[in-house]
Structure 1
Amino acid sequence: MRTAYQEQLSSLTVQLGEMCDLAGQAMEHATQALLQADLALAEQVITDHERITEISVRAEEAAFKLLALQGPVAGDLRAIVSGIQIVADIDRMGALALHVAKIARRRHPQHTLPEEVNGYFAEMGRVAVELSRSAQEVLDTLDPEKAARIREEDDAMDDLHRHLFSVLMDKDWKHGVTAAVDVTLLSRFYERFADHAVEVARRVIFTATGSFPEDQPFVEPR
């Protein structure tokens, strides 16, 4: 029975890693769709989101079954409870990539972004994908030191987010209100994607050590 339980717990970890990989792929493709005004790629992200939702439902059900039927304690209990919370974080990462793709689709055939901010979003997309890969790695390894370093990677996203606001507030901005609203929303989506990746890492640290990093507050899923 103990062997079966450990297999089920390992299966839950694999599902979380798969979700993280899919969320990263979704943001990578959504960024390409955004920068290239690629309708087909935007539609692919929207269609593929169902895979994240399906795995999310299965993973959450598996976690609750482990809680209800196995009565885990200590480290195993932390792993399962954290797993339930991580499902929500990664599901939200996928939803944020979906929002990016939907904005790209809504503005097609026009490009959503003014050319002068394309570089910012190309870099935000790169950082977001790297963060999802790092989160997937710490889910696989449960290494609290690697998990702690994700916070440093998130700093780059925060810097880009702040710089974009300075561009929007510049008196030379000449692209109108609609473009400003799109840039603001999109920047927020990338920032939140990164925040949820950090929260995945934070929960991995709790699973591995039994405590949360004191300098990292909870992220409220949005």
Structure 2
Amino acid sequence: MRDVYQEQLDQLAEVLATMCERVAAALEKATRSLLEVDLQLAEQVISEDVHVDEIRAIAEERAFALLALQAPVATDLRIVVSAIHGAGDVERMGDLALHVAQAARRRHPQPVLPDEVVPYFAEMGRVGVALALKAAEVIRTRDVAAAAQLEEDDDAMDDLHKHMFTVLMDRSWSHGVGPAVDITLLARFYERYADHAVAVARRIVYVVTGQMPGPLTV
């Protein structure tokens, strides 16, 4: 019975890791739709978002079943509770990738981004995808050091997010208010996406150590 129970816990973790990989793929496609003005990619991200919601429902169903039937304690209880909260974080990452794709669709066939900010959003997309994939790895390995590194990697996204304000406030900005609003919102989507990936990693630290790292507002 213990082997079956452990397998159920491992399956729960695997569902969460799979969610991370899904939202990484979503952000990668959404970013390309933004950079390449690709309506088909944007539509693909939008239509596939429902699958992330479905996986979250599976994760929560399995977690609540474990709570009801197994009455987990100590580390096992932390795994189950963290999975429930983590699934919410990862679903939100998927929603943020969806928002990026919706912005690309809304402005099509016109590009959302002026040429001078394209490299920054390409980098934000790269960093976000890497964070989501690393979160999946941390879930599978419960590597506390990798979880801590993920939080350090998030600093790159924070720097890019802050730099966008420098670009928008520069006197040479000539694209008007509309593009500035789009860029502000998009940069915030990427920054929040990264924050949720960090929140997932922090929950793994909690699973392993029993201590939740300091608060993170996402």
For the criterion TM > 0.5, the same-fold answer is yes
Q: Could you tell me which residue of structure 1 aligns to residue 193 of structure 2?
A: 193
Normalised by the length of structure 1, the TM-score is 0.96
Partners of 1:89 and 1:197 within 8 A in 2:
yes
In the TM superposition, residue 219 of structure 1 has moved relative to its aligned partner by: 3.2
Q: Which residue in the other structure is 1:217 paired with?
A: 215
In the other structure, the counterpart of 2:58 is: 58
- The within-5 A match list for 1:27-38 is 27-38=27-38
- d(CA) in 1 for partners of 2:170, 2:109: 27
- How many equivalent residue pairs? 218
Q: How far apart in 1 are the matches of 2:2 and 2:67?
A: 14
Q: Is the 8 A contact 1:196 1:219 kept in 2?
A: no
* Alpha-carbon offset, residue 130 of structure 1: 0.6
Task: Report SS of the residue matched to 2:173.
Answer: coil
Give me the whole-angstrom Cα distance separating, in 1, the residues matched to 2:151 and 2:59.
25
Shift of 1:7: 1.4
Q: Does 1:179 align with 2:179?
A: yes
**Aligned twin of 2:19:** 19
Using the alignment, how far apart are the partners of 2:190 and 2:27 within structure 1?
Answer: 9
Deviation at 1:37, TM superposition (A): 0.5
Q: Distance in 2 between matches of 1:186 and 1:16?
A: 25
Instruction: Please tell me the residue identity of whatever aligns with 1:195.
Output: D
Deviation, structure 1 residue 100: 0.1
Identity %: 58
Q: Which amino acid aligns with 1:24?
A: A
Q: Report the Cα distance in structure 2 between the residues aligned to 1:134 and 1:14, rounded to whole angstroms.
A: 14
- CA shift, 1:45, in A, is 0.4
Q: Could you give the per-residue CA deviations for residues 100-154 of structure 1, whole angstroms, max 9, x where no partner exists? A: 0000000000000011100100000000011011101100100111101111100
Q: Aligned equivalents of 2:140 and 2:73: distance in 1?
A: 21
Q: How many angstroms does 1:218 deviate by?
A: 3.1
| TM-score (normalised: structure 2) | 0.98
Aligned-partner residue type, residue 73 of structure 1? V
Kindly report which structure 2 residues correspond to 1:105-184, keeping only aligned pairs within 5 A, or say none: 105-184=105-184
Q: Give the superposition deviation at 1:8.
A: 1.2
Q: Which amino acid aligns with 1:218?
A: L
Structure 1, unaligned runs of 5 or more: none
